[in-house]
Structure 1
Amino acid sequence: MPTANTTNNGPWDAKLQQFHGGQDWAHIDNFVEDFSVTTNAFGMPDSAMAAAIQSISQGHHYPPADQEPARSSLARFLWPTEFESEQDRLILGNGASELIDLVIRMAPSGTWKPGPFRTQYKEYERSARNNDFELLSVDSTDKANVACLVNPCNPTGDYLELPELKRWISANVLPGGYVLIDESMQPWHSAEFREHSLTSQHDYIRKMYEEHKISIFVIHSWTKLWCCTGLRLGSVVCPTADHMRAIKKVQVPWSVNVVALAFLNAVVSDETYLQKTWQMTPAWRQQTINQLQEMFPGWVFYGREFLSWIWVDTGSEDTAQKAVDLAHAAGVPVRSGRPGYNLPSFVRLAVREPAKFNVLLDAWKSL
């Protein structure tokens, strides 16, 4: 059985594509659980999966060009009492990656900079590089034409509350610039996630555009929260309805298929699934950290308590690589910090139910 290593990127073309995890599972004969992706530990919600399966019977028809009723259903999920006035700023995409690329293509040319954290999800940088932006470093004090911040930050686990986030935007974006804030992991926060989300800040976003011509886009990949990465489902909340229409004009028609739309339309109503997520994810996460700290007292663990993963510094490139190899061999792959992030002493593991985590823990006993 092949083991994960620094030169094997699986199906990724390292010269053309940005490395991403979540590929190893299909090539593991003894696969148990994928700890390399930050999806929900509870898997796909049953009711939404049933709706997706049933939608196959409509597969001989085109998806609705207006993305309805799924788009309006997501708007109600984001803004339960304000969706009618805000939903014209919302558009769906074939995963967040499609929308990231579309927004950056529309953005004013010039400089690009990432969020203030050590590293973050790389699709933003990939798109900026492909569109000939000058890339500023994370510690640059210069303001940029386009700035992208993943909040909560995957993989580091850093998180800015709204006042900090607004200060960062003001300090890092030029007038007339674009800001992309990725809140894909923010709904894990709690049942009160909406009031902690930038999507709730209507007046602030409008004021930034009207007074400074700074356009703020809030991006979500919904495939992590609802564990449906194979469906490719994302959205962006634009600063104005005109921005949304500008994206719609250049977006490939029918980019979201009937299965993904049916899944989304059903899943936003599954309150039981979310309550279970908010209750158990922090508990399982802390339990995982406690057991790993006991076994590896020198390891350092990062991330807010509500997150669906743990970012771990093992303190050693060799230890991290052995941890990756042992996990792969046991059928429970984890994400190495080497490919993509260039942080070879780190590993990232998803929060999973204790029985499955015990398989990983047993695999690491020989470390």
Structure 2
Amino acid sequence: MIKHKDHFHGSDLEKIEQIYGIKKEDIISFSANVNPLGISPKLKDGIAANIDCITSYPDRDYVELRKCIAEYCNTETENIIVGNGSTELISLFIQIEKPSKALILGPTYSEYEREIALGGGKSIYYPLREENDFVLDVDHFISKLTEDIDMLVICNPNNPTGTAINNHDMRKILDACKECDIFVMVDETYVEFAENINEVSSVVLTRTYSNIAILRGTSKFFAAPGLRLGYAICSNTDLMQTINQRKDPWTINSIAVVAGKLMFSDKEYIEKTRNLIASERNRLYDIFDKSSRFKAYWPHGNFMLLRILEDGLTSQELFDRCIKEGLMIRDCSTFPYLGENYIRFCFMNPEDNDRLAALLLK
């Protein structure tokens, strides 16, 4: 098991406030990876207009909500299951699959390993290599798959590296996993930010592969982490039936149901978000790619990983420098395989991005 260090999460603003003496309202979080547009006006007005929904229970099967998600994802309603954030669904899939040995593509989000350990399983990591710019060598990776592995966990695009696996390569991975009887859990939390979403998302593969489940949420792209609305896409009928039998009823509240039906059909907001992130991703990558202080890795999500090239400068020092100016970046020394010379930041509004870039390059 990898030893994880303590760190400030993007939501730890109260802790930051206490330690650094900066009011949380004055902090711009480049660490949380949340859409800088905030929730859409359509969603805000829609929730206000439908607030009376809390006077009754939501539909136990969430049929209308699942239909909206299925249309948004271009898949079948029966392949959709909703949960209290993607976190609940990660936990449920791991509990039911109960892997004794899981392979995780890292460095990545630590919650996967924690959930596997809670079920008594062991996690091993396949490290993405810096010399390959953290891009997966698919053939080498497949050569390491063995029949004693029960589950493979992939974050795609990956957090914190920002790299992504395309459909062609994911299909090769699924074929190899099928031969070894390995179930594949793909976390697509950041896929909606990808410029080539149809090439990166594995949703289309769920139509022909039953050994894959895709997990998504509304916290990042729709800027609604407090809503706790997540969903999974999987065509394995037996597995989905087992999960539905296991999960508690009404874990999605009535407000989240209303919000979901509004946000997944809000085409104007979706397009505005994708355009903003695409523009800032290209612009900021170009700025840092030209810098002699950092090495930038091309990102497919809404955040970028940087390696510090300046001798003697650490990620902790940069974190301190930025937070004192009210800008919170991610010190990536807490991630497996990343040392104290990596930082990550998400793309915010252009003027805030300019402030951060100027401070980091100062």
List per-residue Cα deviations over 1:293-347 (Å, max 9, x = no partner).
55x413111133x521111111467431111112211112111102344622111
Q: 2:197: which partner in 1?
A: 193
Question: In structure 2, how many angstroms separate the alpha carbons of the residues matched to 1:359 and 1:179?
Answer: 40
- Residue 92 (structure 1) aligned with residue 82 (structure 2): yes
Amino acid at match of 1:124: Y
Instruction: Report 1:294-333 matches (<5 A).
Output: 296-304=291-299, 306-315=300-309, 318-333=313-328
**Secondary structure in 2 matching 1:97:** helix
**Is the 8 Å Cα contact of residues 108 and 177 (structure 1) preserved in structure 2?**
no
Q: 2:136: which partner in 1?
A: none
Amino acid at match of 1:131: G
Question: In structure 2, how many angstroms separate the alpha carbons of the residues matched to 1:195 and 1:313?
Answer: 27
**Secondary structure in 1 matching 2:29:** coil
- Residue 63 (structure 1) aligned with residue 63 (structure 2): no
Question: In structure 2, how many angstroms separate the alpha carbons of the residues matched to 1:356 and 1:270?
Answer: 25
Question: In structure 1, how many angstroms separate the alpha carbons of the residues matched to 2:112 and 2:262?
Answer: 29
2:172 to 167, 170, 180: 167
Question: In structure 2, how many angstroms separate the alpha carbons of the residues matched to 1:236 and 1:200?
Answer: 13
Q: How far did 1:108 drift?
A: 4.6
Q: How far did 1:252 drift?
A: 1.4
Amino acid at match of 1:229: P
Question: In structure 2, how many angstroms separate the alpha carbons of the residues matched to 1:157 and 1:248?
Answer: 32
- Residue 226 (structure 1) aligned with residue 222 (structure 2): yes
**Is the 8 Å Cα contact of residues 98 and 121 (structure 2) preserved in structure 1?**
no
**Is the 8 Å Cα contact of residues 83 and 230 (structure 2) preserved in structure 1?**
yes
Question: In structure 1, how many angstroms separate the alpha carbons of the residues matched to 2:47 and 2:63?
Answer: 15
Q: 1:138: which partner in 2?
A: 126
Q: 1:157: which partner in 2?
A: 162
Q: How far did 1:134 drift?
A: 2.3
Question: In structure 2, how many angstroms separate the alpha carbons of the residues matched to 1:239 and 1:110?
Answer: 23
Question: In structure 2, how many angstroms separate the alpha carbons of the residues matched to 1:91 and 1:300?
Answer: 40
**Is the 8 Å Cα contact of residues 147 and 173 (structure 1) preserved in structure 2?**
no
Amino acid at match of 2:239: H
Q: How far did 1:286 drift?
A: 2.4
Does 317-326 or 40-49 show the bigger shift? 317-326
List per-residue Cα deviations over 1:153-199 (Å, max 9, x = no partner).
11111111111112223335664432101112112234x63464221
Amino acid at match of 2:215: I
Matched residue count: 334
Question: In structure 1, how many angstroms separate the alpha carbons of the residues matched to 2:308 and 2:47?
Answer: 40
Does 343-352 or 236-245 show the bigger shift? 236-245
List per-residue Cα deviations over 1:207-230 (Å, max 9, x = no partner).
xx4xxxxx2111112221111111
Q: 1:125: which partner in 2?
A: 113
Q: 1:352: which partner in 2?
A: 348
> Is the alpha carbon distance of 1:174 and 1:147 closer, same or farther for their aligned partners in structure 2, counting shifts above 3 Å?
farther
Q: How far did 1:254 drift?
A: 1.0
Question: In structure 2, how many angstroms separate the alpha carbons of the residues matched to 1:121 and 1:317?
Answer: 27
Amino acid at match of 1:283: S
Question: In structure 2, how many angstroms separate the alpha carbons of the residues matched to 1:44 and 1:341?
Answer: 32
Question: In structure 2, how many angstroms separate the alpha carbons of the residues matched to 1:329 and 1:357?
Answer: 16
Amino acid at match of 2:318: A
Q: 2:31: which partner in 1?
A: 36
Structure 2 unaligned runs (5+)?
128-140
Question: In structure 2, how many angstroms separate the alpha carbons of the residues matched to 1:365 and 1:148?
Answer: 35
Question: In structure 2, how many angstroms separate the alpha carbons of the residues matched to 1:242 and 1:55?
Answer: 36
> Is the alpha carbon distance of 1:173 and 1:110 closer, same or farther for their aligned partners in structure 2, counting shifts above 3 Å?
farther
TM-score scaled by length of structure 2: 0.84
2:274 to 268, 271, 278: 278
Question: In structure 2, how many angstroms separate the alpha carbons of the residues matched to 1:170 and 1:108?
Answer: 21
Structure 1 unaligned runs (5+)?
1-5, 11-19, 210-214
**Secondary structure in 2 matching 1:256:** coil
> Is the alpha carbon distance of 1:162 and 1:70 closer, same or farther for their aligned partners in structure 2, counting shifts above 3 Å?
same
> Is the alpha carbon distance of 1:196 and 1:334 closer, same or farther for their aligned partners in structure 2, counting shifts above 3 Å?
closer
Amino acid at match of 2:40: P
> Is the alpha carbon distance of 1:173 and 1:147 closer, same or farther for their aligned partners in structure 2, counting shifts above 3 Å?
farther
List per-residue Cα deviations over 1:130-167 (Å, max 9, x = no partner).
11112223158242111111111111111111111122
Q: CA RMSD in A?
A: 2.5
**Secondary structure in 2 matching 1:313:** strand
Q: 2:68: which partner in 1?
A: 73
Amino acid at match of 1:113: L
Instruction: Report 1:200-219 matches (<5 A).
Output: 200-205=204-209, 209=210, 215-219=211-215
